[in-house]
Structure 1
Amino acid sequence: MRGRPILLLIFYTCWWTGTLRAQAPQDQHKPELAIHFSYDGGFYEGEVDLQLACPGADIYYTLDGNEPTIGKAEQRYTTPIHLNQTTVVRAIAIKASAYTPVATHTFFIREPHTNFAVVSLAVPPVVLFNPSTGLFVKGENAVDSLWMLPGANFWSRKEVFASTEIFEADGNCVFRSGTGFRLFGGMSRLFPQKSMAIVARERYGESRIRYPIFGKKGLKKFKFLVLRNSGSDFGRAHFRDSLMTSLVEDWDLDKQDSRPAHVYINGQYWGIYNIREKINRYYLAGHHNVDKDSVDLLEHRYTLKQGSRRPYMRLLDYLENNDLSSDANFAYVQTMMDVNNFLNYELAQIYFDNQDAGGNIRYWRPKTEDGRFRWILYDTDWGFGLHESDAYTHNSLEFHTAPDGPGWPNPPWSTFILRKLLENKQFERQFITRFCDHLNTAFHPYRVLGRIDAFEKMYEPEMDRHLERWNLRRSEWEADIAIMRKFAEERAELVRMHLMERFDTGQQRKLRIEVVGGGKVLVNDFVEVEEIERFSGTYFEHLPVHLTAVPKLGYRFSHWEGIGIDKDVRNVALQLRGEVSTVKAVFEQFEDPLEGKIIINEISSNNKVTGDWLELYNKSDDRILMTGVRITDFRHSFILPEIILPPKDYLVVCVDKEKFISHFSASQRVVGNLGFGLNKREEKIGLFSQDGALIDEVLYDVPPSDSAFTLNLMLPNLDNADPENWEILYGFGSPNEANDYYVAATIQARREMWMEIGGASAVILVCITLLLLRHRGKI
Structure 2
Amino acid sequence: MRVILILFSLIIFQVYAQNEVVFNPTGGNYPGLKQVVVHIPKGFEVYVSRDGTLPTKQSEKVSGILNIKGDEALYFAIFKEGQQPYYTSNTYITSRKQTLPFFSIITDPNHLFDKQNGIYEMGCCADKDAPFKGANFWKDIEKPIHVEFIDQNKKAFSQAAGIKIFGGYSVSMPQKSFAIYARKKYGDNRFRYPLFPQLPFQKYKNFILRNAGGDMKGAHIRDVFATQVSKKSGLSFQEYRPVAVYINGKYWGIYNLREKINEHFIHAHHGIPKDDVGIIRPPKKVQDGPPKILKNYHDLMKFLETRKSLNQDDIQQIQNVIDIDDYLIYSTLQIILGNSDAAGNIRLYNDFKKNTPFKTVLFDLDMGMNIFDEEKHLENSLQLFTADKNTDIQYPTEYTLLLRKLLSNNQIQIRFINYYMDALNTYFNPQSAHKELHKLTHEMMNEIPFHLKRWDISQLRYDRSIQRLQKFIKHRPSIAFKHLKSYFNLHNTFEVKYEASEGGQVKVNSLLLDQNFKGDYFKSIPIQVEALPADNFEFVGWKNSTDHTQIKQIRVQKNEILISPIFKPKEAPNYAHKLIIREVYIANKNEKNTSWIEIYNRSKDTINLNNWKVKNKNNINIYTFSSNANILPHSSIVLVENKQYFYQKYDKNITVFGDIPFGFNVNNRAFKLFDYQEYKIQSLSLQNLPKPTNEQYSFHNIHHEVNVNHPQFWIEKEPTPGLTDISVIKANKEEKENERSQLISNTFLFYGIISALIIIILFFIILANYMEK
Does the TM-score normalized on the shorter chain lie above 0.5?
Answer: yes
Q: Relative to structure 1, is the Cα distance of residues 573 and 637 closer, same or farther in structure 2, using a 3 angstrom cutoff?
A: farther
Correspondence for 1:768: none
Distance apart, 1:667 and its partner CA: 12
1:255 to 230, 237, 258: 237
Compute the TM-score of the two structures, normalised by the length of structure 2.
Answer: 0.75
2:146 to 138, 163, 166: 163
Counterpart check, 1:435 vs 2:420: yes
Distance 1:253 1:235 in 2: 28
Distance 1:340 1:709 in 2: 40
Q: Relative to structure 1, is the Cα distance of residues 267 and 98 closer, same or farther in structure 2, using a 3 angstrom cutoff?
A: same
Tell me, what secondary structure is at the counterpart of 1:351? helix
Task: State the one-letter code of the partner of 1:40.
Answer: T
- In the alignment, is the contact (CA less than 8 A) between 1:325 and 1:425 conserved in 2? no
Distance 1:80 1:347 in 2: 61
2:171 to 180, 189, 205: 189
Counterpart check, 1:500 vs 2:498: no
Distance apart, 1:330 and its partner CA: 2.6
Distance 1:512 1:255 in 2: 29
Distance 2:185 2:368 in 1: 40
TM alignment of 1:283-322, pairs within 5 A: 283-321=265-303
- In the alignment, is the contact (CA less than 8 A) between 2:233 and 2:510 conserved in 1? no
Distance apart, 1:722 and its partner CA: 6.8
Counterpart check, 1:579 vs 2:559: yes
Correspondence for 2:745: none
1:523 to 479, 494, 507: 507
Counterpart check, 1:62 vs 2:45: no
Counterpart check, 1:151 vs 2:134: yes
Counterpart check, 1:718 vs 2:718: no
- In the alignment, is the contact (CA less than 8 A) between 1:285 and 1:291 conserved in 2? yes
Distance 2:656 2:145 in 1: 57
- In the alignment, is the contact (CA less than 8 A) between 1:623 and 1:644 conserved in 2? no
C-alpha offsets along residues 149-187 of structure 1, whole Å, 9 cap, x if unaligned? 23333334322222211100x211111122222222222
Q: Relative to structure 1, is the Cα distance of residues 446 and 728 closer, same or farther in structure 2, using a 3 angstrom cutoff?
A: farther
Distance 1:476 1:191 in 2: 16
- In the alignment, is the contact (CA less than 8 A) between 1:167 and 1:174 conserved in 2? yes
Distance 2:135 2:602 in 1: 69
Distance 2:68 2:27 in 1: 11
Counterpart check, 1:366 vs 2:351: yes
Distance apart, 1:212 and its partner CA: 0.8
Deviates more, 1:210-219 or 1:255-264: 210-219
C-alpha offsets along residues 207-245 of structure 1, whole Å, 9 cap, x if unaligned? 221111111524322222221111111121112212222
- In the alignment, is the contact (CA less than 8 A) between 2:654 and 2:722 conserved in 1? no
Correspondence for 2:194: 212
Deviates more, 1:283-292 or 1:600-609: 600-609
2:724 to 723, 728, 743: 743
Distance 2:607 2:36 in 1: 75
Distance apart, 1:193 and its partner CA: 1.2
Distance 1:751 1:711 in 2: 11
- In the alignment, is the contact (CA less than 8 A) between 2:23 and 2:37 conserved in 1? yes
Distance apart, 1:381 and its partner CA: 1.2
Q: Relative to structure 1, is the Cα distance of residues 196 and 630 closer, same or farther in structure 2, using a 3 angstrom cutoff?
A: closer
Distance apart, 1:535 and its partner CA: 2.2
Distance 1:643 1:95 in 2: 64
Tell me, what secondary structure is at the counterpart of 2:353? coil
Correspondence for 1:462: 447
Counterpart check, 1:391 vs 2:376: yes
Task: State the one-letter code of the partner of 1:238.
Answer: H
Tell me, what secondary structure is at the counterpart of 2:48? strand
Correspondence for 1:736: none
Distance apart, 1:522 and its partner CA: 1.3
Q: Relative to structure 1, is the Cα distance of residues 614 and 353 closer, same or farther in structure 2, using a 3 angstrom cutoff?
A: farther
Correspondence for 1:180: 162
Distance 1:617 1:503 in 2: 60
Q: Relative to structure 1, is the Cα distance of residues 249 and 528 closer, same or farther in structure 2, using a 3 angstrom cutoff?
A: closer
Correspondence for 2:685: 700
Aligned residues: 701
Distance 2:524 2:552 in 1: 16
- In the alignment, is the contact (CA less than 8 A) between 1:35 and 1:100 conserved in 2? no
Distance 1:505 1:319 in 2: 29
Distance apart, 1:43 and its partner CA: 2.8
Q: Relative to structure 1, is the Cα distance of residues 328 and 210 closer, same or farther in structure 2, using a 3 angstrom cutoff?
A: same
Q: Relative to structure 1, is the Cα distance of residues 331 and 666 closer, same or farther in structure 2, using a 3 angstrom cutoff?
A: farther
Distance 1:175 1:678 in 2: 22
TM alignment of 1:54-203, pairs within 5 A: 55=42, 60-71=47-58, 75-76=60-61, 80-92=65-77, 100-114=85-99, 116-144=100-128, 146-168=129-151, 170-203=152-185
Tell me, what secondary structure is at the counterpart of 1:112? coil
- In the alignment, is the contact (CA less than 8 A) between 1:597 and 1:619 conserved in 2? no
TM alignment of 1:533-572, pairs within 5 A: 533-551=515-533, 557=539, 559-562=541-544, 565-572=545-552
1:420 to 379, 382, 405: 405
Distance 1:62 1:750 in 2: 53
Q: Relative to structure 1, is the Cα distance of residues 191 and 61 closer, same or farther in structure 2, using a 3 angstrom cutoff?
A: same
TM alignment of 1:764-779, pairs within 5 A: none
C-alpha offsets along residues 517-546 of structure 1, whole Å, 9 cap, x if unaligned? x3345133643445xx43211112122223
Q: Relative to structure 1, is the Cα distance of residues 86 and 449 closer, same or farther in structure 2, using a 3 angstrom cutoff?
A: same
Tell me, what secondary structure is at the counterpart of 2:255? strand
Distance 1:79 1:627 in 2: 69
- In the alignment, is the contact (CA less than 8 A) between 2:611 and 2:675 conserved in 1? no
Q: Relative to structure 1, is the Cα distance of residues 335 and 641 closer, same or farther in structure 2, using a 3 angstrom cutoff?
A: farther
C-alpha offsets along residues 604-641 of structure 1, whole Å, 9 cap, x if unaligned? 99998699999999989799999999999788899999
Compute the TM-score of the two structures, normalised by the length of structure 1.
Answer: 0.75
Distance apart, 1:199 and its partner CA: 1.6
Correspondence for 2:389: 404
Q: Relative to structure 1, is the Cα distance of residues 275 and 595 closer, same or farther in structure 2, using a 3 angstrom cutoff?
A: farther
Distance 1:638 1:611 in 2: 16
Deviates more, 1:520-529 or 1:246-255: 520-529
Distance apart, 1:412 and its partner CA: 1.9
Distance 2:368 2:699 in 1: 41
Counterpart check, 1:223 vs 2:205: yes
Correspondence for 1:49: 35
Distance 1:627 1:102 in 2: 57
Larger radius of gyration: 1
Q: Relative to structure 1, is the Cα distance of residues 391 and 656 closer, same or farther in structure 2, using a 3 angstrom cutoff?
A: farther
Distance apart, 1:399 and its partner CA: 2.5
Correspondence for 1:239: 221
Gapped regions of structure 2 (runs ≥ 5) = 1-16, 734-773
Task: State the one-letter code of the partner of 2:228.
Answer: S
Correspondence for 1:481: 466
Deviates more, 1:191-200 or 1:492-501: 492-501
C-alpha offsets along residues 670-711 of structure 1, whole Å, 9 cap, x if unaligned? 999999x99954569796998xx9766857364999999999
Percent same amino acid among aligned pairs? 23
Distance 2:56 2:160 in 1: 17
Distance 1:420 1:618 in 2: 59
Tell me, what secondary structure is at the counterpart of 2:530? strand
Correspondence for 1:6: none
Distance apart, 1:101 and its partner CA: 4.0
